[in-house]
Amino acid sequence: MSPEREPDNSTDLAGEQDYVSLLYRRLDAERESAQRRLTEVLGQAGGPPQARTERDVATTLYSERLAQLGSVEQGLCFGRLDFHEDETVYVGRLGLFDEDGDYEPLLIDWRAPAARPFYLATAASPEGVRRRRHIRTLSRRVVGLDDEILDLRAADQGHDLGLAGEAALLAALERRRTGEMSDIVATIQAEQDRIIRDELGGVLVVQGGPGTGKTAVALHRAAYLLYTYRQQLATRGVLVVGPNSTFLRYIGQVLPSLGETGVLLATVGQLFPGVRARGTDGREAAEVKGRLVMTRVLAAAVADRQRVPEDVLEVEFDDGVLQLDRATCERARAKARGTLRPHNVARRVFFEELLDVLAERAASRFEVDLFDGVPEIPLKAGETAGVPVLDSGDRAEIRAELAASATVREALDSLWPKITPQRLLRELFSAPERLESAAGGLLAEEEWARLVRPAAERWTPADVPLLDELAELLGEDDSDQRAARARREREERAYAEGVLDILEQDEEIIDEEVLRVSDILDAELFAERQQRRSELTAAQRAAADRRWTFGHVIVDEAQELSPMDWRLLMRRCPSRSMTLVGDVAQTGAAAGASSWHEMLAPYVEDRWRLRELTVNYRTPAEIMRLAAAALAEVDSRLRAPSSVRETGVEPWQRKMPEEGVAGLAARELAAADGGTLAVLCPDSRLDRVRQQLPEDERLSVLTVGEAKGLEFDGVLVVAPEEIVAASPRGWNDLYVALTRATQRLGVVYTEHALPTLVGAG
Ligand SMILES: Nc1ncnc2c1ncn2[C@@H]1O[C@H](COP(=O)(O)OP(=O)(O)OP(=O)(O)O)[C@@H](O)[C@H]1O
């Protein structure tokens, strides 16, 4: 599409300013009203539980509304569509209505169906649109207009990449980077829009090269889904998974500006409540931990904790000793395992079995003791010896005593202990003999030996899926807690019934009050209220609950996740309503994916749909030519995405010892003209390079892994030859490093130049 442009015209500018000012007045009025209501609610206190619950709901509602209204202050309205039938629609960051008139829409939310032509209309397929106008604002002032006339005559003069709102797009892309990602609502392109608005159900995979807007699309999709399927998603929330916390900080501000709060942003390492994975694994250990075979290693480690005695176990009880022989314990273990319940739950069965046996043995011993020393009286004709001395009540009492005895419990615990995932994993990794027993038949010795580490070591991100797996294998015997909860509920109900009785007897009390009390007793209503309360804090509640399942899960840099990471995520999303975005050419993690098919087959077979993004909005064509040479080394069949723009600045390459990096960085930082610069280096050089460089908030020194998903105005890649040599996925890493810049790129060799790059440069 090659739109004809109408020149900016001051009458239009003034007209749009009037309209935009009207929108801001409406926004202010909404804010005042939400603030007033919030203040009113906060001013109330006391009252019955129902009133308190309602106040909680209202407080959260108005606070969220205020946050949402605050987040759209910049760029409230950014577009206008004029249709052939003289209809005009304004598009913006949220919907506003004319509440004084007949509730006409003044501004259409970008996510609403009516806003769609703004992103999709082309000259060839104008969807009734005559003119698309991008409105540029600075604070509340209109500073420019970019018009496109969608005229079929212009359609075949088409631009190769089919860009919509080209001037506004290029202006957005030229912007200096601040270190925080911004939203792209004003300039979403058609191929991106189709992904953002794709249906909710099933697994959607978005494959796209660097800079094609995968992250941007994933976040806008979260906002779109919450807007469109609010009922379905608000209670369960949306989980957005990113590769590391630097990345989460980078994208953290985008969603509030899209007006969304029902989203939990997390790394996989943050998804096991109570564990903070702050340690790091070596590349090889992480790779082994990520393998699917670890499920079998862990299952074996759990089975190893279900022991039987070599010969007999002696259990002290009541001034005597009872014996549990190996065969009896084996029978009890087989029965407990046969229930197929998790370890901590099946333990109850094991205990019950052995308590039965012990009770039997204790009863016999008691009977023997009773008759000890008593002379045997010969049986008369017709008499039998079968009548037991202890009746069933006595036997039950002995069993109860055994169950309550600390020594008995200790003895049984030594065979089948109650154990947490954390304890089991710590004890497994800190004891080579335990590891050998569990992993010996499944991993080679040099593989399982990589997992050995001291017990005091910190948890790492790769431990988290293992803990999650163990939580499933071990389970939680919560029967005591459940019994306690049921007892509490019975007591509360009895109390409420008592209150109701008193109220009914008291004639002074009005009917309404009585109704409120009886409300508490209505289980359905009670459950519903609980539900409403949880709706408001879905993201927070989800963060604290390992068993939480999300309405939708979005995974960014999905290629980095290991098979064990996927198992964890799939548990969090049994509905398999997921959006996975990534680029298999950028995989750096040793346990990461090289094919979407391989990664997904265990969970959904081939029931997933693929969409591709093909245009690179970040990296200029000059830099992309160099990066394409690295991509060819990854796989010669892969094609780099086409860059949207050229800058006229070629990337440069130079040989220089490490000490020279500081001077080059200072030069590049100056050239970035107030923008950001990243120095990307191999892990082994990170500390030394960091020490050389001054503290500056515009300057970041990172490894390639840390820079994944980020972008900077300028980038210096140090020692590319070492980045390539450092891992089997070294070329993928170099490709990632070379595609982080929006303006300028320099490559500094410390040893030998890479012939591939020299040829391309
Ligand atoms: N339609 C658009 N309008 C304006 N800017 C855009 C658009 N699409 C993408 N961008 C910008 O392009 C840059 C790259 O986008 P993003 O980080 O989402 O790409 P990516 O595909 O996730 O890249 P990578 O795989 O390298 O992490 C960002 O600055 C983003 O804001």
- Residue 662 falls inside a structural domain: yes
pLDDT value at residue 595: 86
Ligand 1 pocket residue status of 640, Cβ below 6 Å: no
Is residue 84 one of the residues assigned to a domain? yes
Q: Is 489 helix (H, G, I), strand (E, B) or coil?
A: helix
Q: Tens of pLDDT along 240-280?
A: 999 988 888 888 888 777 767 778 999 999 999 999 999 99
Lowest pLDDT segment from 50-64, 307-321, 392-406: 50-64
SS (H, E, C) 404-419: HCHHHHHHHHHHCCCC
Same domain, 599 and 577: yes
In a domain, 521, yes or no: no
Last residue within a domain, chosen from 107, 124, 145: 145
Q: Is 221 in the pocket of ligand 1 (CB under 6 A)?
A: no
Q: Does 569 share its domain with 667?
A: no
Q: How far apart are CA 704 and CA 645, in angstroms?
A: 24
Domain membership flag for residue 655: yes
What pLDDT score does 541 carry? 80
Residue 133: its pLDDT value, please? Answer: 95
Average pLDDT in the 52-58 region?
81
Q: Which CATH number does the domain housing residue 248 bear? A: 3.40.50.300
- 103 and 28 in a single domain? The answer is yes
Residue among 632, 252, 662, 288 at smallest CA distance from 460: 288
Alpha helix positions (H), 198-342: 214-228, 230-234, 245-251, 254-257, 283-290, 294-304, 326-338
What mean pLDDT is predicted for residues 271-294?
Answer: 94
Looking at the structure, tell me whether residues 554 and 594 fall in a common domain. Answer: yes
pLDDT band at 319 (very low <50, low <70, confident <90, very high): confident
Residue 521's pLDDT is what? 39
Task: Ligand 1, residue 740: give the atom nearest the CA.
Answer: 26
For residues 313 and 329, is the Cβ–Cβ distance under 8 A? yes
Better pLDDT: 151 or 225: 225
Rounded to the nearest angstrom, the distance between the alpha carbon of 211 and the centre of ligand 1 is: 5
Smallest CA separation from ligand 1 atom 14, residue: 211
Residue 124, domain member (yes or no): yes
Helix, strand or coil for residue 225?
Answer: helix
Residue 513 has pLDDT above 50, yes or no: no
Alpha carbon distances (Å) from 295 to 302, 458, 466, 564: 11, 21, 8, 8
- Do the annotations mark residue 460 as ligand-binding? no
Residue 691 shares a structural domain with residue 638: yes
Say if ligand 1 is within 6 A of residue 210 CB.
Answer: yes
**Minimum CA distance residue for ligand 1 atom 27:** 709
Q: Does 165 sit in the ligand 1 pocket, CB within 6 Å? A: no
- Pick the more confident residue, 527 or 581: 581
Cα distance between residue 413 and residue 406, in whole Å? 10
Q: Identify the helix (H) or strand (E) that includes residue 358.
A: helix 343-371
Instruction: Answer yes or no: do 130 and 234 share one domain.
Output: no
The residue whose CA is least distant from atom 30 of ligand 1 is 213
Atom of ligand 1 nearest to the CA of 172: 4
215 marked among binding-site residues: yes
Mean pLDDT of all residues in the chain?
A: 86
Q: Name 96's bridge partners.
A: 107
Answer whether 711 contacts ligand 1 (Cβ < 6 A). yes
Would you state the structure tokens that stand for residue 691, as one six-digit string? Answer: 């020490």
The answer to whether 322 and 361 are in contact (CB under 8 A) is yes
Q: Is the CB of 192 under 6 A from ligand 1?
A: yes
Of all residues in the chain, the percent with pLDDT exceeding 90 is 61
By most ligand atoms within 8 Å of CB, the mutation choice from 253, 711, 713 for ligand 1 is 711
Total structural domains within the chain: 4
Final residue in a domain of this structure, among 347, 380, 415: 415
- Residue 699, SS3 per DSSP: strand
Q: 55: which residues sit within 8 A by CB, 6+ positions away?
A: 41, 44, 47
Atom number, ligand 1, closest to the C-alpha of residue 173: 5
pLDDT, residue 627, reads 95
- pLDDT, position 377: 62
Q: Strand 578-582 to strand 203-208: parallel, antiparallel, or no bridges (unpaired)?
A: parallel
pLDDT-based confidence at 230, cuts 50/70/90?
confident
Q: Give the domain-ending residue among 98, 120, 145.
A: 145
Cα of 613 to ligand 1 centre, how many Å?
Answer: 11
d(CA 585, CA 148): 36
236 and 335: one domain? no
Quote the ligand 1 centre to 322 CA distance (angstroms).
71
- Residue from 173, 206, 738 whose mutation best tests the ligand 1 pocket (most atoms within 8 A of CB): 173
For ligand 1, the distance from its centroid to the CA atom of residue 618, given in whole angstroms, is 6
**Residue bearing the CA closest to ligand 1, atom 24:** 210
Rounded CA separation 37/424 (Å) = 52
Provide CB contacts within 8 A for 280, sequence distance 6+: 460
- Cα(617) to ligand 1 centroid in Å equals 6
pLDDT over 60 (residue 8) = no
Domain presence at residue 503:
no
Across 550-561, average pLDDT? 94
Q: How far is the CA of 183 from the centre of ligand 1 (A)?
A: 10
- Our answer on whether the CB atom of 214 is closer than 6 Å to any ligand 1 atom is yes
CA distance 454 to 539: 35
Least confident of 103-117, 158-172, 387-401: 158-172
Residues 14 and 141 in one domain: yes
705/421 Cα distance (integer angstroms): 29
If asked whether residues 268 and 311 sit together in one domain, one would say no
Q: Is residue 105 part of a domain?
A: yes
CA distance 108 to 119: 13
Domain hosting 357: range is 307-371+390-415
For residues 650 and 674, state if they share a domain: yes
Residue 266: which residues within 8 A CB-CB, separation 6 or more?
A: 239, 240, 241, 242, 248, 543
Question: Of all protein residues, whose CA lies closest to atom 9 belonging to ligand 1?
Answer: 213
Strands laid side by side in the 608-613 sheet: 263-266, 238-241, 552-555, 578-582, 203-208, 608-613
Instruction: Find where tokens 């210096």 sit.
Output: 716
Q: Which atom of ligand 1 is nearest to the CA of 192?
A: 1
Q: pLDDT > 70: what percent of the chain? A: 86
Mean pLDDT for the stretch of residues 185-212: 94
pLDDT for the residue 516: 40
Angle between the 326-338 and 343-371 helix axes, to the nearest 10 degrees? 140
Q: What is the pLDDT of residue 533?
A: 44
Joined tokens for residue 211? 């800079």
Say what the pLDDT of residue 450 is.
96
Any binding-site annotation on 212?
yes
> Which tokens belong to 509?
């009390």
Look at residue 254 in the predicted model and tell me its pLDDT: 82
Same domain, 590 and 678: no
The mean pLDDT value for 144-155 works out to 76
Neighbours of 284 (CB within 10 A): 14
Rounded to whole angstroms, the Cα distance separating 344 from 419 reads 7
Residue 483, domain member (yes or no): no
How far apart CA 578 and CA 239 sit, in angstroms, is 9
Is 213 marked as a binding-site residue?
Answer: yes
Asked whether residue 138 falls in the same domain as residue 258, the answer is no
Q: Tell me the average pLDDT across 491-503.
A: 58
Distances (CA, A) of 415 to 80, 410, 438, 737: 73, 9, 17, 53
Query: Which helix (H) or strand (E) element contains residue 514?
Result: helix 511-521
Q: Average pLDDT of 676-705?
A: 94
Strands annotated E in 99-237: 105-109, 129-138, 141-149, 203-208
208 is in an annotated binding site: yes
Q: What's the pLDDT at 160?
A: 57
- The pTM of this model reads 0.84
Q: Is the CB of 583 under 6 A from ligand 1?
A: yes
Ligand 1 centroid distance, CA of 431 (Å): 46
Answer yes or no: is 214 a known binding residue. yes
Q: Which of 328-342, 358-372, 374-388 has the highest mean pLDDT?
A: 328-342
> 305: Cβ below 6 Å to ligand 1?
no
Tally Cβ neighbours within 10 Å of residue 652. 15
Q: Is the CB of 164 under 6 A from ligand 1?
A: no
Question: How many angstroms is it from 203 CA to the middle of ligand 1?
Answer: 22
Residue with CA nearest ligand 1 atom 13 = 618
Please give the Cα distance from 242 to 215 (Å, whole number).
Answer: 9
pLDDT of 619-645, one tens digit each?
Answer: 999 999 999 999 999 988 888 999 999
